[in-house]
Structure 1
């Protein structure tokens, strides 16, 4: 498996192209792209409050002919807000976005908090194949009650008991500085080595600053949805889904069992537990993630 060794500098260039699509209701969905314009389209659902600025796999995208597209979710970055939005509503936004931009054979990547959004799109039949990387699982599922850290269980319980109050509280601590501290505090040594690289840290923090530019409401809504029960059954997904988790991932809001339960719920899932990786394997293992995503023979 081709991966970036610990300590190797990871390049995270700004998007080669940026723009916005205008939806039928007048809202804008802002996007950024890397790679060849005629490449295989891959839609990235990014992690918590990170904008379209933060791509991955700079060298692999070019080498493999990937047209990587990252979209700011409503209320984040340069995308217009959509109060009360849902995971399934996001899938409908993506359906319209795909039609507007003429994308065919679209594949998806969902990283961290972006995973439920990517899975909602897969359940809606929008992807030919999906990679979930260090994905947030359905944390509100009863099977995880005994596995969640106390602070995460509290958030999930609060989201279920009083969603409006929970959303307000998430907005109260929503800022790029606080979120960066939370990411760093929840990271193990493997991930901290990457977060301490000046260029990578600068790109990550810039993406968070852009994500929070409209205010904390978009992040708060995303977090509420991530902490709540999913409004779709992942069992309906019929396209291949690769679940990528690092055995050294210590982030408390990813998957308590590194995707084992999620793999059992998706008939088409294949789980990859990478022994020497942490939660940032989207960047340290971008090449194998993308190669698997493009492998149509493995998808059959």
Structure 2
């Protein structure tokens, strides 16, 4: 089956004011509507989505490596707020007018940080990680996730060292294929998709595990912004067959109530991989949010 993964059409690096580089990849027309992609955990700019749909919809899909992953330089101690500042410079440097954003899995809080900073006009959160450290989830997290959240709260540096000790492309791939639902395994083990996914993971760890470890600390900590202050449309996409313990424990239900302009889409037959199985609906809805 064609899940819409394809080689990037353009690759590059943008230099930030402090001298660091942000690596990026693009698909679709250069004069298309810019859609910034915040990839999932332990992946990089190489894993796109949408295939020919981005051309048909005149979308300029831009995936950006977070600091320390792939082609982006490290930024020790970075925060979600720092990410928004980096993207502000990126958008200005590349003259991206009125960008939109997609945040997949662990990329969700990074995409929402852009929305909270007023940098994007609308966001699609797809199988997104929620604010797992929020008190509303205190009694519902899976035990291993609860342990990670508690470890970050107690000692972020020690937690980051622990995550780095575990993090590798092989270890994370094994976790993905063993904990995912049957529907997700069908996608991730497809020969073409698997090649693209593994390539993105290998590049993500090309500088070592520190970037992944920092991302995980941020994903397991309290967010530095209030979702209630997000003033742009946010579509929350979840599949009822999603078995990931690090996505939203209530599949976005409480987050949808917190964000003023949120719309929750709960798909009974979909799983965590719905970014690739329901791409057209995600992109069509995202584009409809902008006049």
- Return the offset for 1:200: 0.4
Give runs of aligned pairs for residues 33-52 of structure 1, distance below 5 A. 33-52=26-45
- Return the offset for 1:146: 1.5
Q: Distance in 1 between matches of 2:149 and 2:242?
A: 20
- Return the offset for 1:10: 1.8
How many aligned positions are there? 291
Q: Distance in 1 between matches of 2:135 and 2:228?
A: 17
Indicate the residue corresponding to 1:113 in structure 2: 106
Give runs of aligned pairs for residues 253-264 of structure 1, distance below 5 A. 253-264=246-257
The counterpart of 1:191, out of the listed 184, 191, 206, is 184
Indicate yes or no: 2:287 matched with 1:294.
yes
Aligned alpha-carbon RMSD (Å): 0.9
Indicate the residue corresponding to 2:223 in structure 1: 230
Structure 2 residue runs of 5 or longer lacking an equivalent are: none
Indicate yes or no: 2:218 matched with 1:218.
no
Q: Deviations over 1:172-212 (max 9, x none)?
A: 01100000011112210111111120110111011000000
Q: Deviations over 1:260-297 (max 9, x none)?
A: 0110110100000011100000000110100011014x
- Return the offset for 1:84: 0.2
> What SS does structure 2 have at the residue aligned with 1:125?
coil
CA contact (8 A) 1:11 1:199 kept: no
CA contact (8 A) 1:48 1:112 kept: yes
Indicate the residue corresponding to 1:4 in structure 2: none
- Return the offset for 1:11: 3.6
Indicate yes or no: 2:62 matched with 1:69.
yes
Indicate the residue corresponding to 2:129 in structure 1: 136
Q: Distance in 2 between matches of 1:257 and 1:39?
A: 35
Indicate yes or no: 2:152 matched with 1:159.
yes
The counterpart of 2:278, out of the listed 280, 285, 292, is 285
> What SS does structure 2 have at the residue aligned with 1:222?
helix
